[in-house]
Amino acid sequence: MGNDPPPNTTSDFFNLSVSAALSRALHAQSHLDSLRHRFSRNASESKAWSDCMSLYRNTIIQLNRSVDSPTATGCTAADKQTWLSAALTNLEICHILFGRLGLSEEMVSPLQGYNVSDLISNSLAINEAPPAVNGMGEENWATVGMRRLLQTKGRRVDVVVAKDGSGKYRTIGEAIREAERQRKRGRKGRFVIYVKAGVYSEYLQIGTGVPNLTLIGDGKGKTIIRGNRSVGKGYTMVGCATILNRIINFAAVFGDGFIAQDLTFRNDNGPRTQALALLLGSDRSIIYRCSIEGYQDTLCVFSQRQFYRDLVHPAGWLEWNGNFALDTLYYAEFKNTGPGSKMSRRIIMGRTFMEEPPLLSWEAIFIINFA
């Protein structure tokens, strides 16, 4: 620590822990960057390297904002827990990417030598903050300002997108690039893009440089964002996620505060292999009155906090197909309220899947509040 005073409080100790993780993450990223030439033997290796670099960059962003600042306002322990968890997820996915290519010894082992994951885990243990949930069964951020914004009529629109040329742009991607340019010039606040009815065949990527972006359509089945990429066509899937940048499914969001309303996200690849329609790594994002459609693994909640409303039919879920993955599946609901939480309105599953408790828990906790 040099001449720095010893930590006197839990906050001091937490900051030291996160700072140590950040320092090691920067060294690991530099090491990864120096290995680029070793992973250009084929397209799969090159893409894995590029995606891993993106994941490390995002990890550094999450660690930077997790460190306490004397000038920070409104940052809670739950916020830090979310950001640190996202940072840890990024590293695990990076290791899986290279492991699937048989490159664990060549790539993963050197990176693990920096102990970034262990240092982040220590920081999570020091922070130890459960998310605050209010009496309505929804986190406060989703119920106060952002949901009020969704209910506001006649809001100002920054850019109109229309296939017929009646808007400023014909593609959503062009409008997103304008939002990014305005952010770089110092634009603050929310940037609202209205997308008129039509089918938009685009592969959207909304990065961390485009926070507080809103996409509003003319309704489910009217404004459709579609793609058809899949594992069967050579695009990489890790767990539930197609990972970042050039190998992304077709709609991936990492900019915080994202809102989508009255849209359809569709992957119409058909009954072949895993084909995502939407991947979300955006903190405090809201998906409202949207339809997310695809044959398999349609939605991936990659990391961080999202709020979904009027998305899942309240009658219930499709029955699970066979016994695949049931020995590692755990499902739970937490403090659910509203009509959609009533078991009497659910479709009853035809059988009890497993008598034994799961060996490993891939936990999914849902907050349901259907109107």
Q: What percent of the chain has pLDDT over 90?
A: 36
- The token duo for 154 is 């006649």
Q: Looking at the predicted structure, is the pLDDT value of residue 58 above 80?
A: yes
The C-alpha atoms of residue 114 and residue 189 are separated, in whole angstroms, by 38
Element at 147 (helix H, strand E): helix 145-150
Chain segment 265-296, per-residue pLDDT in tens: 988 776 655 667 888 999 989 998 999 887 66
Segments of the chain assigned to CATH 2.160.20.10: 140-311
Domain 10-127 class? mainly alpha
Chain segment 239-250, per-residue pLDDT in tens: 333 334 333 446
- Check residue 334 and give its pLDDT: 59
**Is the Cβ–Cβ distance between 241 and 302 less than 8 Å?**
yes
User: Residue 343: is it exposed, middle or buried by C-beta count within 10 angstroms (0-12/13-18/19+)?
Assistant: exposed
- Check residue 354 and give its pLDDT: 46
pLDDT band for position 70 (50/70/90)? Answer: low
The C-alpha atoms of residue 56 and residue 91 are separated, in whole angstroms, by 7
- Check residue 57 and give its pLDDT: 93
Angle, helix 43-66 to helix 116-127, in steps of 10 degrees: 30
Q: Looking at the predicted structure, is the pLDDT value of residue 305 above 60?
A: yes
N-terminal to C-terminal alpha carbon distance within the chain: 54
- Check residue 21 and give its pLDDT: 96
Q: How many CB atoms lie within 10 A of CB 7?
A: 14
Q: pLDDT higher for 101 or 134?
A: 101
The C-alpha atoms of residue 150 and residue 287 are separated, in whole angstroms, by 10
Could you tell me the pTM of the whole model? 0.77
pLDDT band for position 143 (50/70/90)? Answer: low
In this structure, CATH architecture of domain 140-311? 3 Solenoid (2.160)
Q: How many CB atoms lie within 10 A of CB 296?
A: 16
Chain segment 314-330, per-residue pLDDT in tens: 555 555 666 766 666 65
Segments of the chain assigned to CATH 1.20.140.40: 10-127
